[in-house]
């Protein structure tokens, strides 16, 4: 009889600390009730097991092996499948991260079950997981149940609260070897390159100033960078402008980009396509500056200015500078 | 002769005004918007574009468009043929219309086994209606093929596929032996638009139809149940900054944000 919740935690690159999503997964798992097992796959991640305990895991399964250093789907799915079969959980949770996106559907297929991706709400109705998620680019909400065990879901970043940390809590730690034979691995990572965005990380920024098609061209981002600099924030962009090459892909906010939760989000020349709104659904304070008073972005905005950004932004920036200085 | 299968889906037009988006909660279905035609799912036509770029280099490549859906999906196949694909296969059977992502992958796999050998299967990273993003990798598992997800560039050469994946903070180049599955993302670039001559030619291309019995399957074996579908409440009271000029509005906005302790 499957029981308990198993989460696939993640470490930041290099394995030095847990990625924030791990806390969110443990928080979501705790809220479902029952024992929580956290799985950590990677290289140099063994030291993070204690941290998982402090964040509410009852048991931590660590597979610390060079072969798992970078996410490689074939290896990760292979190890994940074995762990799930042994642990026999009722629910398995991933973050909607690069790892979760790739791994969760494949693991579901191998375990003869299914997955609900990018969930924003979870509950248990008896043994049945009720998983709610956005669809139609955020225009609709769908609630699913899954036939088969384990019931797998990936969770949208920054939606679920991490538990209060308690350093006196200790988890049982079980170490396993990866045991990945060469024939399991079919794809090969040839190279990796980082696309660095200067300044504050978009995901951590307290203020995000984002630009859309309404900027009219890549040069429109320069004043936004200046404004973000004054506010100690980061610059984001819509998919449309990243696709047109106006701004780096790493700055893309939305369904196919990053989920951000700043205290203040300033949307400049952004119409508010649902694909973009999916990335800011948790933001409470959205400011929209757009020429079109009918733009969808105003539906979600706490403050709105209907006007040409080319006139609004310089005046706004100057005033912000003055207020900050004063 | 290399063979690429592109799996495509038809969706309600995502560019339709959000105000017209309506759901029939009892039927758990999105209502079609009168006068607005469904369109090919954009990530899928980007997949066709990826296949065409391979074909641009290796001219004897055959591209087959594969879709699962009712009669109207024929338009989506025709669109992809007009883009430059060679053949169309339409799985069209009322018994399969309600397939979930698992069943869809299972049905597509059964169809691909009918049209093998195949070197590369390309899917969009996700459909732009349900946004689930699992059919491509599930299909790979069912076929027993390796998979590369969320790619922005795809090359196929000498029994090997090389694809560049989009990561959150960069890119990763991955190789897989053929046959394999690749799912593609919007960073690949705009899909080419069919020329009139190609549209006329595609109109004449015969599309092969397959039913459940042709595939030896009896209905969609769903693993996931849609329990509820609704439009979430998103009412926010917007405070519009009114001023005589855009410049003044900008200044007042800063003052209001300061008052609200947001800056």
Do B84 and B170 belong to one domain?
A: yes
For chain A, the helix, strand and coil percentages under 3-state DSSP, each to the nearest 5: 35, 30, 35
Number of domains forming the structure of chain A: 2
Q: Which residue has the tokens 């993003």?
A: B133
Q: Which of A94, A114, A113 is nearest to A103 (CA)?
A: A94
Cβ contact B223–A148 (<8 Å): yes
Cα separation, B78 vs B240, in Å, equals 46
Domain housing A156:
5-184
**Mean confidence (pLDDT) of chain A:** 94
Q: Which residues of B touch A243 (CB under 8 A)?
A: 186-187, 189-190
Mean pLDDT of A87-91: 98
Selected residue of B25, B143, B224 to mutate for chain A interface (largest A Cβ count, 10 A): B224
Give the dihedral of Cα atoms A25, A30, A36, A41; nearest 10 deg.
10
Kindly report, residue by residue over A149-194, the tens digit of the pLDDT. Answer: 999 999 998 899 999 999 999 999 999 999 999 999 999 999 999 8
Q: What is the pLDDT of residue A275?
A: 82
The size of chain B, in residues, is 263
Kindly report, residue by residue over B239-261, the tens digit of the pLDDT. Answer: 999 999 999 999 999 999 999 99
Name beta bridge partners: A152.
A92, A115
B228 interfacial to chain A (CB closer than 8 Å)? yes
Q: Which residues of B touch A154 (CB under 8 A)?
A: none
Report the CATH number that the domain containing residue B104 is assigned in CATH. 3.40.50.620
Do A239 and A130 belong to one domain?
A: no
Cα separation, A301 vs B239, in Å, equals 8
Do A214 and A274 belong to one domain?
A: yes
Q: Is B219 left (phi over 0), alpha (psi -120 to 50) or beta?
A: left
Do A15 and A64 belong to one domain?
A: yes
Domain housing B237:
233-263
Within-domain flag for B135: yes
Do A126 and A258 belong to one domain?
A: no
Q: pTM score, two decimals?
A: 0.92
Q: What is the pLDDT of residue A173?
A: 97
Do A228 and A157 belong to one domain?
A: no
The count of C-alpha atoms lying within 13 angstroms of the C-alpha of A217, restricted to the half-sphere facing its C-beta, is: 2
B166 interfacial to chain A (CB closer than 8 Å)? yes
* Six-digit token string for A64: 């610390």
Within-domain flag for B107: yes
Residue A248 above 80 pLDDT? Answer: yes
- ∠ CA A320-A321-A322 to the nearest 5 degrees? 90
Within-domain flag for A190: no
- ∠ CA A250-A255-A256 to the nearest 5 degrees? 45
The distance of A123 to chain B (nearest Cα, Å) reads: 13
**Mean confidence (pLDDT) of chain B:** 95
Helix (H, G, I), strand (E, B) or coil at A9: strand
Do B134 and B183 belong to one domain?
A: yes
Sheet with A207-211, strands from edge to edge, namely A234-237, A207-211, A264-268, A286-290, A303-306, B239-240
Do A121 and A56 belong to one domain?
A: yes
Do A129 and A238 belong to one domain?
A: no
A contact residues 15-54, partner B, Cβ 8 Å cutoff: none
Confidence category of residue A257, pLDDT binned at 50, 70, 90 = confident
Domain termination site, one of A157, A184, A211: A184
Within-domain flag for B221: no
* Six-digit token string for A9: 């935690």
Burial class (CB in 10 A: 0-12, 13-18, 19+), B53: middle
Do B139 and B188 belong to one domain?
A: yes
Kindly report, residue by residue over B66-122, the tens digit of the pLDDT. Answer: 999 999 999 999 999 999 999 999 999 999 999 999 999 999 999 999 999 999 999
Mean pLDDT of A295-318: 95
Cα separation, A271 vs A212, in Å, equals 7
CB atoms within 10 A of CB B219: 13
Do A162 and A282 belong to one domain?
A: no
Number of domains forming the structure of chain B: 2
Do B51 and B140 belong to one domain?
A: yes
Q: What is the pLDDT of residue A41?
A: 97
CA-to-CA dists, residue B32 to B37, B77, B247, angstroms: 8, 20, 42
Within-domain flag for B104: yes
Cβ-Cβ contacts under 8 Å for A267 (sequence gap 6 or more): A210, A212, A280, A286, A287, A288, A289, A290, A297, A301
A196 or B172, greater pLDDT = B172
Q: Which residues of B touch A242 (CB under 8 A)?
A: 187
Do A162 and A236 belong to one domain?
A: no
DSSP codes joined into one string, B214-240: HHT--S---SEEEEEEEPPP-----EE
Report the CATH number that the domain containing residue A32 is assigned in CATH. 3.40.50.620
Cβ contact B21–A306 (<8 Å): no
Do B176 and B239 belong to one domain?
A: no
A143 interfacial to chain B (CB closer than 8 Å)? yes
Within-domain flag for A112: yes
Within-domain flag for B92: yes
Cβ contact A304–B133 (<8 Å): no
Do B152 and B250 belong to one domain?
A: no
Within-domain flag for A194: no
Do A147 and A113 belong to one domain?
A: yes
Cβ contact B246–A137 (<8 Å): no
Within-domain flag for B93: yes
* Interface ipTM > 0.90: yes
Helix (H) or strand (E) holding A91: strand A91-95
Q: What is the pLDDT of residue B13?
A: 87
Do B152 and B81 belong to one domain?
A: yes
Within-domain flag for A192: no
B193 interfacial to chain A (CB closer than 8 Å)? no
| Interior/surface letters A86-103, b for 16+ CB within 10 angstroms, e for the rest | ebebbbbbbbbbbbbbbb
Do B94 and B182 belong to one domain?
A: yes
The count of C-alpha atoms lying within 13 angstroms of the C-alpha of B20, restricted to the half-sphere facing its C-beta, is: 11
Do A180 and A214 belong to one domain?
A: no
Mean pLDDT of A269-297: 92
Kindly report, residue by residue over B34-74, the tens digit of the pLDDT. Answer: 988 999 999 999 999 999 999 999 999 999 999 999 999 99
Do B208 and B178 belong to one domain?
A: yes
Do B131 and B245 belong to one domain?
A: no
Within-domain flag for B37: yes
Q: What is the pLDDT of residue B14?
A: 81
Local structure of residue A45 (DSSP, 8 states)? -
Name beta bridge partners: A258.
A253
Within-domain flag for A197: no
Do A62 and A152 belong to one domain?
A: yes
Of the partner residues B162, B175, B228, the one whose CB lies closest to the CB of residue A143: B228
Within-domain flag for A195: no
Q: What is the pLDDT of residue A273?
A: 86
Cα separation, A45 vs A35, in Å, equals 22
Kindly identify which residue of chain B lies nearest to residue A316, measuring between CA atoms. B250
Helix (H) or strand (E) holding A319: helix A309-325
Confidence category of residue B232, pLDDT binned at 50, 70, 90 = confident
Q: What is the pLDDT of residue B88?
A: 98
Helices B135-143 and B101-115, axial angle in degrees (round to 10): 50
* Six-digit token string for B115: 């049209």
End-to-end CA distance of chain A: 65
Helices B101-115 and A98-110, axial angle in degrees (round to 10): 70
Within-domain flag for B225: no
Cβ contact A243–B168 (<8 Å): no
Do B161 and B253 belong to one domain?
A: no
The distance of B206 to chain A (nearest Cα, Å) reads: 32
Q: Which of A289, A61, A60, A281 is nearest to A169 (CA)?
A: A60
Within-domain flag for A191: no
């Amino acid at each position: 009889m499957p029981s308990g919740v198993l989460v696939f935690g993640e470490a930041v690159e290099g394995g030095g600390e847990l990625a924030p999503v791990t806390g969110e997964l443990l928080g979501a798992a705790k809220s479902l009730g029952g024992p929580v097992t956290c799985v950590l796959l990677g290289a140099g991640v063994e030291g993070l097991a204690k941290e998982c305990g402090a964040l509410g895991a009852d048991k931590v399964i660590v597979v610390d092996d060079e072969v798992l250093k970078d996410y490689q789907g074939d290896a990760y799915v292979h190890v994940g499948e074995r762990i799930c079969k042994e642990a026999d959980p009722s629910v398995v949770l991933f973050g909607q991260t690069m790892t979760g996106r790739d791994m969760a559907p494949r693991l579901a297929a191998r375990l003869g079950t299914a997955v609900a991706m990018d969930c924003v709400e979870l509950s248990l109705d008896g043994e049945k997981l009720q998983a709610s998620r956005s669809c139609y680019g955020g225009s609709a909400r769908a609630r699913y149940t899954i036939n088969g065990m384990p019931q797998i879901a990936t969770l949208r970043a920054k939606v679920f609260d991490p538990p209060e940390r308690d350093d006196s809590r200790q988890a049982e730690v079980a170490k396993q070897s990866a045991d990945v034979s060469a024939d399991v691995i079919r794809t090969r990572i040839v190279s990796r390159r980082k696309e660095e965005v200067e300044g504050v990380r978009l995901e951590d920024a307290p203020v995000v100033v984002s630009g859309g098609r309404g900027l009219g061209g890549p040069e429109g981002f320069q004043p936004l960078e200046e404004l973000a600099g004054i506010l100690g924030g980061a610059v984001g962009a819509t998919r449309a402008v990243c696709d047109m090459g106006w701004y780096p892909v790493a700055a893309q906010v939305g369904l196919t980009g990053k989920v951000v939760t700043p205290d203040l989000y300033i949307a400049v020349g952004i119409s508010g396509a649902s694909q973009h709104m999916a990335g800011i659904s948790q933001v409470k304070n959205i400011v929209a500056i757009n020429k079109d008073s009918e733009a969808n972005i105003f539906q979600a905005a706490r403050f709105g200015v209907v006007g040409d950004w080319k006139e609004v932004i310089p005046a706004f920036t100057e005033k912000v500078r003055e207020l900050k200085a004063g | 002769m290399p063979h690429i299968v592109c799996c495509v889906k038809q969706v309600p037009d995502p560019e339709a005004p959000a105000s017209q988006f309506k759901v029939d909660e009892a039927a758990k279905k999105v209502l079609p918007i009168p006068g607005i035609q469904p369109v090919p799912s954009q990530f899928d036509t980007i997949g066709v574009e990826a296949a065409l770029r391979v074909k641009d280099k290796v001219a004897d490549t055959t591209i087959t468009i594969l879709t699962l859906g009712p009669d109207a999906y024929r338009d989506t196949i025709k669109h992809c043929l007009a883009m430059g694909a060679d053949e169309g296969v339409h799985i069209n059977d009322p018994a399969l219309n309600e397939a979930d992502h698992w069943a869809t992958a299972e049905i597509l796999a059964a169809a691909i086994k009918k049209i093998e050998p195949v070197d590369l299967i390309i899917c969009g990273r996700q459909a732009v209606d349900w946004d689930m993003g699992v059919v491509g990798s599930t299909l790979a598992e069912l076929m027993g093929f390796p998979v590369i997800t969320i790619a922005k560039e795809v090359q196929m050469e000498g029994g090997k596929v090389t694809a560049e994946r989009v990561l959150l903070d960069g890119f990763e180049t991955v190789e897989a032996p053929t046959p394999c599955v690749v799912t593609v993302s919007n960073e690949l670039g705009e899909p080419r638009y069919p020329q009139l001559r190609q549209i006329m030619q595609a109109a004449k291309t015969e599309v092969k139809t397959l039913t459940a019995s042709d595939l030896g399957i009896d209905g969609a074996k769903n693993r996931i149940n849609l329990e509820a579908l609704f439009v979430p409440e998103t009412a926010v009271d917007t405070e519009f900054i009114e001023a005589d000029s855009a410049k003044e509005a900008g200044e007042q906005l800063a003052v209001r944000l300061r008052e609200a302790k947001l800056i």
